[in-house]
Amino acid sequence: MEHIESFEIKKKKNWFAIIGSNLAVLLIFIFFLFPIVWMVGMAFKTQNDILSWPPKFVFTPILDNFRAIIFSEMEVGGVGSVKLNFMNGFWHTLIISVGSVLVSVLLGVPATYGLSRFRFKSKENISFTFLSFRFGPELLVIIPIYFIYQKIGLMDTYFGMIWVYQLITMPMIIWIMRSYFDDVPVDFEDAAVVDGYPRWKAVFKIVLPIVKPGIAASALLAFIYAWNNFIFALVLGSSNTAPVTIEAMKFISAEALRYGVMSAGIVISFLPILLFSIFAQQYFVRGLSMGAIKR
């Protein structure tokens, strides 16, 4: 009888633990999701609906804010107003971010393979140097880079922006990919070489397919960091390369803060990251199994 009672007590405790943990996860999910849902709702509201009190949860959605963003139907600044062209900033950001990630992947993955596979002097020091660029503040290097870019004519150019963004994206690629390459046994490549494969072909045919989830994960994180960068874009860019982080500043004028248009711009600028995340999700799931591969 006592065993039955103790079993029932343990069963109730397990149920309480399950309910409590699920409730905690739900509250955390709501806490992080609510600002996003609220911002998306503001993108479909008029300025009066946004500023109304108490807040309106039931309203007639409009597309005027998105129309103002996409077709540049908005001016800011009052006297001497400037026509806002947010979509130009969107395309600038897309070109710079995609270009930065492509360069980082094409150069960073082979570099990481070399750091993982080959033994040479100061290998760990080189790895730490790459990683230190990620932790160092951007303001630490922005002034010398500014003067160098002025001298060689890279100010406000796509090439210049993609090049300086390597300080953001390259360390991320190398940092993440190092652990993936370290988890792939060298025996796989040695077996392929014994079977007649050249070393480079063994890497392409065997190693790269295994670490593909790591490439996708590191590329996504690097893309997010590049997309959200502000300091490099503010100092080294201008009208020809100004990204969304700079164009968004124009929403703030002396007259008013256009909450609806600003929210629509944020929603549009968030879409590439969302789509990229959905595309790379399958590789993240596959990446969970990487821990099963050990030396």
User: Does pLDDT of 232 surpass 90?
Assistant: no
Handedness of CA 276, 114, 185, 191 (dihedral sign): positive
Query: Does residue 234 sit in the same domain as residue 117?
Result: yes
Query: Does residue 63 sit in the same domain as residue 117?
Result: no
In the chain, the number of structural domains is 2
Q: For 1-7, what is the mean pLDDT?
A: 53
User: Does pLDDT of 9 surpass 60?
Assistant: no
Handedness of CA 177, 182, 187, 190 (dihedral sign): positive
Query: Does residue 16 sit in the same domain as residue 96?
Result: no
Domain hosting residue 235, numbered range: 82-292
Query: Does residue 124 sit in the same domain as residue 30?
Result: no
Query: Does residue 191 sit in the same domain as residue 97?
Result: yes
Banded model confidence at residue 106, pLDDT cuts 50, 70, 90? very high
Annotate 174-198 with b (16+ C-beta within 10 A) or e (fewer).
bbbbbebbebbeeeebeebeeeebe
Query: Does residue 49 sit in the same domain as residue 107?
Result: no
Instruction: Give domain status of residue 250, yes or no.
Output: yes
Instruction: Give domain status of residue 72, yes or no.
Output: no
Banded model confidence at residue 101, pLDDT cuts 50, 70, 90? very high
Query: Does residue 257 sit in the same domain as residue 232?
Result: yes
Running DSSP on this structure, what letter comes out for residue 75? E
Query: Does residue 191 sit in the same domain as residue 47?
Result: no
Q: If DSSP codes are grouped into helix, strand and coil, which group holds residue 119? A: coil
CB of 220 closer than 8 Å to CB of 280? yes
Instruction: Give domain status of residue 211, yes or no.
Output: yes
Q: For 266-287, what is the mean pLDDT?
A: 74
Best mean pLDDT range from 20-24, 86-90, 224-228, 273-277: 224-228
User: Does pLDDT of 99 surpass 90?
Assistant: yes
Last residue within a domain, chosen from 19, 35, 67: 67
Query: Does residue 12 sit in the same domain as residue 117?
Result: no
Instruction: Give domain status of residue 77, yes or no.
Output: no
* Nearest in space to 64 (alpha carbons), one of 74, 55, 78: 74
pTM score, two decimals? 0.76
Reported as half-sphere exposure (CB side, CA atoms, 13 A), residue 234 has a value of 13
CB of 176 closer than 8 Å to CB of 212? no
Instruction: Give domain status of residue 216, yes or no.
Output: yes
Query: Does residue 29 sit in the same domain as residue 147?
Result: no
Instruction: Give domain status of residue 73, yes or no.
Output: no
Amino acid present at 259 = Y
Helices within 77-203 (DSSP H only): 86-117, 123-135, 139-152, 158-164, 166-183, 186-194, 199-202
Instruction: Give domain status of residue 223, yes or no.
Output: yes
Banded model confidence at residue 80, pLDDT cuts 50, 70, 90? very low
Range in 105-109, 180-184, 191-195 the model is least confident about: 191-195
Last residue within a domain, chosen from 67, 98, 115: 67
User: Does pLDDT of 154 surpass 50?
Assistant: yes
Query: Does residue 95 sit in the same domain as residue 167?
Result: yes
Query: Does residue 58 sit in the same domain as residue 161?
Result: no
User: Does pLDDT of 294 surpass 70?
Assistant: no
CATH code, domain with 148: 1.10.3720.10
Last residue within a domain, chosen from 41, 67, 93: 67
Query: Cis peptide leading into 54, omega within 30 of 0?
Result: yes
Instruction: Give domain status of residue 37, yes or no.
Output: yes
Paired tokens of 218: 């590191």
User: What value does the CA radius of gyration of the chain take, rounded to a whole number of Å?
Assistant: 25
